[in-house]
Amino acid sequence: MYTGGGDPIKRVGPQKTYVFYRKGVESFVIRPGFSGKVDNFGMLIPFPSPPAIRKVPDHIFSHISAAIDPPEVIVRLWRRRHRRYRKMSIKLSPAQPTEKKLAVDAVKVLKQEAVGMYEVAVLQAGSPKALKGWMARHSYKYPKGMDKVTLDYIKAKWCFVAVKARVAGKKSVTPRPGMRSAKAKFPKGGSFTGNVQAMGFRFRTKRLVVPMRLSAFNKGRLRNIVYLLTTGPRRIRSIPKRYVMRQLRGRQLYDNVTKLLPIRVLGGTVAKIPNYRWPSIQRRRNPVPKNGLARDLFAGDLMSSQIGKLSLPHEERKKMLLRIGERLGLRGKHLDRLHRQAIRDQTEQTTKKSLHLLKRMTLTVVDGDFPREVIAKKNLTFAYYKMPPANNDSTSYNARRLGPGSRGRGVVSRYAGPKKYRVKPKQSIAQKAPPRRKIKRRRARFFYKLIDQMQDAKKVNEAVQKIVRAGKQSIPFLWGEVVEGVDLVRRGWSIVALTELWNSKLNKQVTALHQDRKQPILVRTWGAAARIQQTKTINDLIALRSLGYRFPPTKRPIRKRLLALLPPLRSLNTKKMLSMTSKFPMLRKRFSRMILKKPPKDLVHVMLTAKDNKTRRLAAGYIAAMAPRRWPRWRRWRRPKPIVKKNSKKERALLRKARKVGDAIADGVSFTKGAKKTPWDGGALFVPSIDWQKPQAKRLVGQLIRWYVWAELHKNTGLQQQIHNNIRSL
């Protein structure tokens, strides 16, 4: 990672890296953590040869840790007693030769693609100056002060992967065929703290090497955790041997990801577990939710090294699904789960064919603060090293805790359970190839040929452009593929093309599509996202807001479309802002400051006259935030302490606010002679819980008592009860 101008990017937490090497194929996975301005974030990673890039699940490292030290299923054979305990804190190679030498001022673009939330470019440069110029022209951030290190990589004929965040921003609301970039969703100068999306790189190299020289220039601690999967035990040269924390043989690692999780029995032995408890215990022992992603990662890398291909079919298919999602504005963990379900059969086939090779490997865990001067001078290389057996266990270092483990109480067992309760492996059913179309008309051949090209990553953009240029004639063919197609990728790109050819008839058809439970959930989600993108007014979007709960990935398209349809903020009054916030809670962060700056009487007016009770309740909440209590509510087990100091400036300011807000509420519910209805007629009455002062509270109660008598004269018992409840709440 690196920074541009302004505040620097700082590392957050330990930098975790997974590294695999076998038969000249290296793969590594990173998930950077940073704190700083989003505009300054990016990555520049050197490679000895052009890599294949893929998106990796964000929680991959927790699965790798669980593959090293599987979590235990606790079985208690005594009656559990609930006690209170005090909380205790525990501290836990030379590159491949190129055909032609690049000119000093030249930059060759080997590959450009979008991977999840990133835009990625694989570059080969003739000089640091040329690389810096290309990156500046294309809105990438070049690392400052690292020309010397970059020149060393260029002389060694390495290539670079430039990464920038915020792919598929505001423009993806109305996607266009062939679109490769998008504006950021973050405001200019916005900040971010945490981990971003994980990425995987796979490339060919004659020897195992990890390029970390550029990371030495980032501020913050240089704690690195490297999970190294190789054909033998290894350590990092120039890094102290004491940083090697664990070494796990391949056979043990294979058992951890394929066999049931261990059980820890408290208060007895395995033989004393009653039969009726075994079904629930066996369900909890399924290893897939805990380390299944690590198993698939290991199997994919092993298959790649075995067949000599950098990118596997199911990985390419997943990248196509990601591209479809980005075009429809979809992103997030819920979408990733749908993608994993869509390629599950292909992933399982890869796992079955290659996972047995894991038995010949060794996993080494290196954890420590790497010396900054060592990393800055040269890349990480590795040497054979076998750590002492006395320190190679989970009590010395637990991968899930990132520190020493504990032996714990009870009995730990790997017993598979009684035979009748053992889980039988599911047999995957081979899918039949889709039947060939019988095409009679020449015009139909043209469209079906373009639809077939949507499966090809290189031809899909051109195919979508051609089919959109054909106009309304292509709609029946695209819709037929969406509803009756066999291949998910073709169906997804057909929906993307339909968003460019939208008409009123498609509104009804797409609505029927995402309501049809016989269709795959991923296709229904794509249809819902397309329907959201084509809304033209906020009222249309309000009618579709329930889709965000039925299809969680569509929450992002709803938010993006809503921000695009919102009028200028200056034209929104208090009532509109509160009404929009009650219908779309995602707008609270955007409107809260503006609402709290409004006069109290405006909020009181909304609290009393809004059509729906949800908006009234929200207005009452904002009024309460304007004049918070100086004292917390009384609790039996402790004496309340004042929130602010007595007679301080802050207390005097709160008292002024409380008087102003209290007067506004009392004025809002004031009684008038000859009134035919109450000020809050048509909805519920809410009295905010503010720091009431005696004069304002006395006025308010007096007005409510007058309305109570008025309700009694009009024989309105419901209104009397409503007023009675609010007086009691003061």
Mean pLDDT in residue range 446-451: 90
Q: What is the 3-state secondary structure (H, E, C) of 125-154?
A: ECCHHHHHHHHHHCCCCCCCCCHHHHHHHH
pLDDT band at 451 (very low <50, low <70, confident <90, very high): very high
| Concatenated DSSP letters of 367-402 | EEE--HHHHHHS-EEEEE----GGG-STTT-BTTTT
As a whole number of angstroms, the distance between CA 145 and CA 138 comes to: 20
Q: Is the pLDDT of residue 124 over 70?
A: yes
- How do residues 571-581 score in pLDDT, each as one tens digit? 888 999 999 89
Indicate the range of 142-151, 537-546, 572-581 predicted with least confidence.
Answer: 142-151
Mean pLDDT in residue range 325-334: 92
What pLDDT does residue 168 have?
Answer: 39
What lies within 8 Å, CB to CB, of 426 at 6+ separation is: none
Q: Is the pLDDT of residue 354 over 70?
A: yes
What lies within 8 Å, CB to CB, of 447 at 6+ separation is: 467, 470, 473, 474, 477, 478
What lies within 8 Å, CB to CB, of 339 at 6+ separation is: 318, 321, 322, 325, 522
Residue 286 to residues 240, 259, 630, Cα–Cα distance (Å): 38, 8, 52
pLDDT band at 550 (very low <50, low <70, confident <90, very high): very high
Q: Is the pLDDT of residue 351 over 60?
A: yes
As a whole number of angstroms, the distance between CA 138 and CA 703 comes to: 66
Share in percent of the chain as helix, strand, coil (round to 5): 45, 15, 40
Which contiguous run of DSSP H or E holds residue 364? strand 362-369
Among 141-145, 443-447, 470-474, the range with the most confident prediction by mean pLDDT is 470-474
pLDDT band at 729 (very low <50, low <70, confident <90, very high): confident
Q: Is the pLDDT of residue 179 over 50?
A: no
What pLDDT does residue 5 have?
Answer: 43
What lies within 8 Å, CB to CB, of 199 at 6+ separation is: 29, 30, 31, 53, 54, 55, 56, 115, 116, 118, 163
The share of the chain scoring above pLDDT 90, in percent, equals 52
Give the strand order in the sheet containing 380-384. Answer: 209-210, 380-384, 234-236
- How do residues 400-440 score in pLDDT, each as one tens digit? 999 998 888 888 999 988 888 887 655 544 455 555 555 55
The share of the chain scoring above pLDDT 70, in percent, equals 83
As a whole number of angstroms, the distance between CA 217 and CA 375 comes to: 9
- How do residues 125-139 score in pLDDT, each as one tens digit? 888 888 888 888 888
Mean pLDDT in residue range 394-405: 92
Higher pLDDT, 15 or 551: 551
What pLDDT does residue 253 have?
Answer: 96
DSSP type of residue 513: H
The whole-model pTM stands at 0.76
Higher pLDDT, 311 or 112: 311
Helix (H, G, I), strand (E, B) or coil at 215: helix
- The pLDDT mean for the chain works out to 84
Indicate the range of 225-229, 486-490, 637-641 predicted with least confidence.
Answer: 637-641
- How do residues 500-541 score in pLDDT, each as one tens digit? 999 888 999 999 999 999 999 999 999 999 999 999 998 899
- How do residues 293-324 score in pLDDT, each as one tens digit? 999 999 999 999 999 999 999 999 999 999 99
As a whole number of angstroms, the distance between CA 267 and CA 311 comes to: 50
What pLDDT does residue 348 have?
Answer: 92
What pLDDT does residue 547 have?
Answer: 93
Among 78-87, 106-115, 221-230, 438-447, the range with the most confident prediction by mean pLDDT is 221-230
Among 93-102, 185-194, 652-661, 666-675, the range with the most confident prediction by mean pLDDT is 666-675
